[in-house]
Structure 1
Amino acid sequence: MKRLLLLPGLCVAFATAVLAADPAPASAPASTPDFSSFKTADDLWKQLEKLQEPPAEKPKSREEAMAQLQVYFTTAQAAAEAFVKTFPADSRSWQARMVALRCSMQLRQYGGTGSIEADQQKLNEIINAPEAPAPMKGEATFMSILIQRSQLDKDKPETYGAFHKAVADFMEKYPDHPLASQLKIVQMRELPNDPTPQADEILKKVAAGSDLRLAEGAKAMIAERQKMAEFKSKPVDLKFKSADGHDIDLANYRGKVVLVDFWASWCGPCIGEMPNVVSTYGKLHDKGFEILGISLDQDKGAMEAALKKQNMTWTQYFDGGGWDNKISKSFGIQSIPAAWLIDKKGMLREQGLRGDALGAAVEKLLAE
């Protein structure tokens, strides 16, 4: 829910609202937008600016929101690319390049066909172009780091080391760039999942820094990492009465691999990931895979409706507390989706697995 791709200068409010909906494959509009009627750079630039404004009508459903997103980013990308192609000598062409790249990255995140490699090549061209304005070089570097962030892998600690180096290089080269503060936040959001000692060093440095908001966040993360270390030192203690009235004790699941899934019906990314969780459960349940859902809903009816719609047939905990959910608070959960994978001995082994990584991790633990 909190890992939205940042959109500097591209109508953040609308993009954030739409991206909260369920992810769904994006497809190109029925016809490619034609901007040949705009004969001057000023006219086309005004049109490009207009295309970055949110639509007047708010979407009535997630499906409608996704359709709006598809049109919004695809059309803005086409206009930006038309500007670069038609008016390459105009100084605003650098900004147009960035608009096109932002749109491409968003569309790819939601099922578009764009290539990471192609986007990275275009970013490198901006970064390495002597004539590109420094602010554009900085933004291109920022977006390149976002791509690097999307490829972080806990099984490859070196990816985190390279990511932190890229952030440090940005801060040294562009300390006053408008995106510098956002990049610090991006880095902070990855530290809870960082398996390297470097994460502790960065957190200690931030906790002692002058930015009070980041310092408080760093202190909370330090406490969370210490708590996670404690959880991983002994079998997880989890007992509760399920939403349908049964007494549940994780100790009774020894010999099975268990996913403790913290979620809510109002959490777009949670629901977006659910088909993958349901599929993994269907494939591996008979082999010893179980799921215990911890719902952060306040409305039991909303939770039950989501369970039925998503075909979530496993046990659920519900106390109506929302973010004050007793179990999530005791486990230090600060954002969802959050998934804890417990091995056959009751030990916490993995956190935050999504997509294909979940099934692969479950199969690995089942084989132990």
Structure 2
Amino acid sequence: MSFLNNTKIAVIGGGSWATALIKILCEQSNVQIRWWLRNQDDINHIRKFHHNPSYLSDVNLSPKKIKVFEKTIDALKGADYVILAVPAAFVQESLRDLSEKHFKGKRVVSAIKGMIPNENMLITDWIAQEFKIDLHDTCVIAGPCHAEEVALEKQSYLTIASTECPTAEDFAKLMTCRYVTANALDDLYGVEYAAVMKNIVALACGITHGLGYGDNFQAVLVSNAMQEIGRFVSALDSRERELSSSAYLGDLLVTSYSQFSRNRLFGNMIGRGYSVKAAQLEMKMIAEGYYAAKSIMEINKTYHVDIPITNAVYQILYEDHAPAHIMDELKKLLK
């Protein structure tokens, strides 16, 4: 099944990543975009001025290719693909008016690097369960790629992962343009769990930076984190995978080190002495690693994998342990 001729794509979400994905899709000649945003003022602004006033406001959006909707039901009508690009914590609320019938015959793409809070479920698993969608008709978008660099048209790379390569390959073609290369991979769970955990690692990197640790320590932290991700993912899905590839290591590196990483920024604020609540209030965007740390710790009650970095972040964010003390303990475990 291929949707590459006159493809209609519904995009759910109005943030920077949703805006960047729409910019990429607008490079295609055979795509029509049906965009749902929560904020009515942003909807009105986009219709009149053709750019998102709240995120990546310098990106011009083609009015010939984009139609903006107030209701998710209307956005999904006639769509071949549905891209979910809202924070994981808001997925259930954003889709509350939809049912199984609204997703019939559509492929669903998660551009969310998080898990459903409290449910401790991957987005693709929750979507498949909630709306009776075959996992073969779902895929995820992974990096290494930041929305801000897409806006600047800097060369970027995406990984589109599904349980079957043809599904990922079809969507990868739609996400490839002159400044973005998208590759397909048939490791849905490995890529999705790695994307969730790399945000926790970025938080840890931010915390250590805020505490005054240098590049040497952060390099050791990230290399140990890659091993931690490997152990956890293998416990849940034991297939062989090359963790040094861009979908895993590349995505981890860019999130851990980039100036655009919201998770690193959030962690840096915690390391500098902000409370969790104060850091959340100051940041305009959601740091997915905050919710992910709790979900991974809950899942790990079943698997008992050695995940000291995730545990350290959890203790700081949820158990109110002093960041300096926890990182002093963590450094004894790193090699």
- TM-score by structure 2 length? 0.35
- TM-score by structure 1 length? 0.32
Q: Point out the structure with max Rg over C-alpha.
A: 1
Normalized per residue, the structure richer in helix is 1
Normalized per residue, the structure richer in strand is 2
